[in-house]
Amino acid sequence: MKRVLYIVRRPPGVLADEFFDVTLVSGVFEQPTSVLFADRGVYQLLGLAARESPIKTLSSYDIKDLYVAEESMTSLGLDIQDIPSGVHTASRRDVRELIAHHDVVLTD
């Protein structure tokens, strides 16, 4: 089975929600799936915009390989300790390795 990496770059909103729906399809079909939150997509982890973080939904579909780009957190002035437990930080090098180790990479 192909390993799929979804890169979430959009903040919470309609387009980001639709992208998450696509992500959940991978979980339904039991594909090895990882999610990387980068750029303004990091806000998805923080539950901003008066909505719950998608982490609970992703884990219920057995999508547990979750990462946040450290560089994005820093550039947005956010603290790494603000991210939920179970989300791994990824340096610039880690991000390159994530992309290289997945068969399919999709971004919003």
Alpha-carbon torsion angle 41, 44, 34, 73, nearest 10: 60
Find the domain containing 61 and state its range.
Answer: 4-107
* Per-residue pLDDT tens over the stretch 60-108: 778 889 999 999 999 999 988 888 888 999 999 999 999 999 999 988 8
pLDDT at 51: 54
Give the total number of structural domains in the chain.
1
* Per-residue pLDDT tens over the stretch 19-60: 777 888 877 777 899 999 999 989 888 764 445 666 677 877
Residue 8: both structure tokens together: 């979430």
CATH of the domain at 14: 3.40.1260.10
- When pLDDT is cut at 50, 70 and 90, the band that residue 15 belongs to is low
DSSP line for 29-63: TT--EEEEE-GGGGHHHHTTTTS--THHHHHHTT-
pLDDT at 73: 93
Under a CB-based contact definition with an 8 Å cutoff, are residues 11 and 40 in contact? Answer: yes
Q: Which residue has the tokens 């919470």?
A: 12
Measured distance CA(106)–CA(108) in Å, rounded: 7
Residue 5: both structure tokens together: 């990496």
pLDDT at 36: 95
Under a CB-based contact definition with an 8 Å cutoff, are residues 92 and 103 in contact? Answer: no
